[in-house]
Structure 1
Amino acid sequence: MKPFVQKALLLYSATLSTVFAVAMIMGAKSQRNAEFNVIRAQRLNIVEPDGTLRMVISNHDQMPGVILKGKEFPKVDRPEAGMLFYNDEGTENGGLIFGGHRNEQGEIVDSGASLSFDPYGESQQLIQLAGVEDKDNRIVGLAVNEPKNHSRNRRIWVGRGDDDSAIVSLMDANGKKRIVMQVAADGTPSLDFLDAKGQVVRHFISNN
């Protein structure tokens, strides 16, 4: 084959490949709506047109560290999978996480789910709905917290106690219990008023 023919064929091949690639890219960009039966992925990032991160749906291995204003800090221990939410600045402000597995001893660990929402610009939970029950924790209920000086104090707790009682606790601004209303596992209701030191100053109980 003559040299000029070889060059022509190479040029034709290169041109055809380039046109095909451009067509595929343009077609992908113009395809704004698509329908799938199943999407298999380890992580999905939902972003704004400018690239700002707004949501992450991830398995355990791909869960990100804490992200503040688009900057990711060293990965924290997150044994669960789930969904994380981010505000307009790309700062984490809540999420839904879930997990659970057995360790080498056959004990259930990191089992449960949590839905939480944070105040703007801080990784402190304002509200948390949790259902956790494993070898170390037994937390089932709704917590309302008050962020204060880069920490949080619990103000309201509605949930189940370790003794299977149903509890409503109201705390002061320092996180100290001041009113505790509960119904014991045997059905006995009670109401306690506490001072700032946590001492019961009034106790009411009904045996009926």
Structure 2
Amino acid sequence: MMTKAIHVARVIVLASMLSALPAAAQPAKRPGPSMELLEKIIADRSPETRVETVDHDRITAKRIDIVGDDGVIRMTLSAKTPAPIVDGIQYRRVFDVSGLILYDAEGSERGGFGVADLDGGSMAVLALDHPAKDAIGWRVAPDGEVSFSVNQAPALVREPQLGNRLVPGVQAPTRIRLNVAADGTPSVALADGNDRPRVRMTVTPEGYGAIEFLNAAGEVIHTFAPEAGGNG
């Protein structure tokens, strides 16, 4: 009985010691969603991740379409991608592109990537689209220039003579431009609502970091470059 009483006393003392530990010493709660929430969003605990037998070692085709259950084309891989479709109407593409095009549930083009064959050489391109205009775009030009742009969403304009469908090409400003010129000069420019660059960050040919402020006419009115002694 005495041994049992001593054991019980030790358990009580240990429990009181644990409860007195600071919060940091307590077992930490696992970060992330609970298992209960995970169970609600798990679609398959053993999804298919590989193909046991390859049907063909090589598929040769000029175009491959991936379609949804309703038959709508959601993705096209093509040596010459089809012209862009906006709200059910197809428009001429500015230049031919070989690559992959993505479509929304209505069959409108919403982005893609590929290679464009231009007179001066090939240009690698990637874009994700607003409903009727590019939203963001990457370009690697033939001369080595690399650019990235972010466009403000344009107003959604519908044309009664086209069955009240969306009109592509509605003007909207490019608010952010990231660029590495062919000579290696980097720049980041922020534009106002009228597509006029107002702030530009760059590195000078001497290697100094600089921030330039521009007026509506595109003139630099203030340069902040402490290392170069240009602060005003």
Normalised by the length of structure 1, the TM-score is 0.69
Q: Which of these residues, 64, 69, 73, is aligned with residue 44 of structure 1?
A: 64
Report matched runs for 1:34-73 at 5 Å. 35-60=55-80, 63-73=81-91
Matched, 1:117 2:128: yes
Contact 1:53 1:70 in 2 (8 A): no
Point out the structure with the larger strand share: 1
Task: Report what 1:91 is aligned to.
Answer: 108
Unaligned residue ranges in structure 2 (runs of 5+): 1-52, 156-169
Task: Report what 1:194 is aligned to.
Answer: 214
Contact 2:83 2:93 in 1 (8 A): yes
CA drift of 1:34 comes to 6.8
Contact 1:194 1:202 in 2 (8 A): yes
- Rg bigger for which structure? 2
Task: Report what 1:25 is aligned to.
Answer: none
Aligned equivalents of 1:132, 1:147: Cα separation in 2: 25
1:207/1:161 CA distance change after superposition, 3 Å = same
Contact 2:198 2:215 in 1 (8 A): yes
Aligned equivalents of 2:67, 2:78: Cα separation in 1: 14
Q: How many residues align?
A: 162
Task: Report what 1:144 is aligned to.
Answer: 150
CA drift of 1:165 comes to 1.1
Aligned letter for 2:228?
Answer: N
Unaligned residue ranges in structure 1 (runs of 5+): 1-32
Matched, 1:78 2:95: yes
CA drift of 1:157 comes to 1.1
Normalised by the length of structure 2, the TM-score is 0.62
Aligned equivalents of 1:45, 1:100: Cα separation in 2: 22
Contact 1:181 1:192 in 2 (8 A): yes
Matched position secondary structure for 2:134: coil
Contact 1:157 1:168 in 2 (8 A): yes
1:53/1:188 CA distance change after superposition, 3 Å = same
Contact 1:169 1:179 in 2 (8 A): yes
Task: Report what 1:9 is aligned to.
Answer: none
Task: Report what 2:140 is aligned to.
Answer: 131
Q: Which of these residues, 163, 177, 182, is aligned with residue 202 of structure 2?
A: 182
Identity %: 28
| Partner deviation per Cα, 1:39-80 (whole Å, 9 max, x = no partner) | 1110011111222111111003xx21121344434x434332
CA drift of 1:100 comes to 4.2
Aligned equivalents of 1:38, 1:92: Cα separation in 2: 28
Aligned equivalents of 1:88, 1:204: Cα separation in 2: 48
Aligned equivalents of 1:50, 1:70: Cα separation in 2: 16
Aligned letter for 2:107?
Answer: G
Aligned equivalents of 2:54, 2:105: Cα separation in 1: 26
Q: State the superposition RMSD in angstroms.
A: 2.3
Matched, 1:172 2:192: yes
